[in-house]
Amino acid sequence: MFKQRVVFVHGAGSFGAAAWPKQHGMALAYDALFLRRHGFDPVAEPLPTDFAADAAIVLRALADDGRGAAGGHVVAHSQGAISAMMAAVERPDLVQSLTLVEPACFSLTAELPATAAHRALLQPLFDVRHQLSDEDFHREFVRRVFAAHAPVRGGVGAPAADDGREARRLRLQAPGWDAPLHIVPGVPTLVLTGGWEPLYEEIAGYLRETGALYRTAPGGHRPQDSREGDRAIRTFIADVERSSHAHAS
């Protein structure tokens, strides 16, 4: 039986299947692939962000399913939304739908107030990150970004302070406002947020104005881990599938 492909693209912190605990069961109905972005490896040393390499990973997952077919749905979280959007701009024929969960697409909203304030807070830290130790960068990053959101901090994705590999990877991640992003024309898009942070609501509002469907669910920066968020993802993909089948018949 043919199963439509769904490609999952993680953000910071956990990667691969570990980043999508509530979506594992989708493999029963779909050909689900849980990707590892560039520089995320359980053994090799972390590498700096490469947006183009991440987009290429997404495209390879969509272009080769081993059955002579190509394309599928893309579900991406946080900074993973950057490569998902870049892949869809480059090859919209391969992307049947985009689900962007708390997308860290700061370059789209760089001139809007919440994004501008976020950049003003973090740009000085990124400017000196190569002069800091992994632990010092981690400590200051957490202080600037997460201290104001203690109730949801555990879901935001900050690495544990004693996890050296994750602290190093965090320091090597490029800021999202440097990503070369453009709006994706003609691809059905869902934006899912946790409704907790004006920064992500600002991005969601921008994408909604360009035609995206907008939903909120509990869970802070990881609404996909809540029952409501998981349902929103599954429902959206199923609706796109039904619509595409209806147009094909």
5-109+178-248 sits in which CATH class? alpha beta
Per-residue tokens: 161: 């302070």
Please report, for residues 141, 147, 230, the alpha-carbon distance to residue 124 in angstroms, rounded to integers and kept in the order given: 11, 18, 36
Dump pLDDT digits (tens) for 5-36.
Answer: 999 999 988 999 999 999 999 999 999 999 99
Supply the pTM of this predicted model.
Answer: 0.92
Confidence of residue 74 (pLDDT cuts 50, 70, 90): very high
pLDDT at 160: 53
Q: What single-letter DSSP state applies at residue 105? A: -
Inform me whether the pLDDT recorded for 137 exceeds 60: yes
Domain ranges of the chain: 5-109+178-248
Inform me whether the pLDDT recorded for 156 exceeds 50: no
Confidence of residue 147 (pLDDT cuts 50, 70, 90): low
Inform me whether the pLDDT recorded for 67 exceeds 70: no
High-pLDDT (> 70) share of the chain, %: 89
pLDDT at 158: 52
pLDDT at 184: 86
Contact assessment for residue 223 and residue 193, using Cβ atoms and an 8 Å cutoff: yes
Mean pLDDT of the 81-99 span = 96
DSSP states along 165-225? HHHHHHHHPPPGGGS---PPTT--EEEEE-S--HHHHHHHHHHHHTT-EEEE-SSTT-GGG
Task: Please indicate whether residue 160 or residue 163 has the higher confidence score (pLDDT).
Answer: 163
Inform me whether the pLDDT recorded for 165 exceeds 80: yes
Inform me whether the pLDDT recorded for 84 exceeds 90: yes
Inform me whether the pLDDT recorded for 77 exceeds 90: yes
Contact assessment for residue 8 and residue 237, using Cβ atoms and an 8 Å cutoff: no
Contact assessment for residue 129 and residue 123, using Cβ atoms and an 8 Å cutoff: no
Confidence of residue 153 (pLDDT cuts 50, 70, 90): very low
pLDDT at 13: 84
Rg, C-alpha atoms of the chain: 17
Distance in angstroms (rounded) separating the CA atoms of residues 181 and 91: 14
User: What is the 3-state composition of the chain as percent helix, strand, coil, each rounded to the nearest 5?
Assistant: 55, 10, 35
Contact assessment for residue 224 and residue 22, using Cβ atoms and an 8 Å cutoff: yes
Q: Which residues pair with 213 in a beta bridge?
A: 190
Dump pLDDT digits (tens) for 177-227.
Answer: 999 998 888 999 999 999 999 999 999 999 999 999 999 999 999 999 999
Inform me whether the pLDDT recorded for 150 exceeds 90: no
pLDDT at 29: 94
Distance in angstroms (rounded) separating the CA atoms of residues 115 and 177: 9
Distance in angstroms (rounded) separating the CA atoms of residues 12 and 89: 22
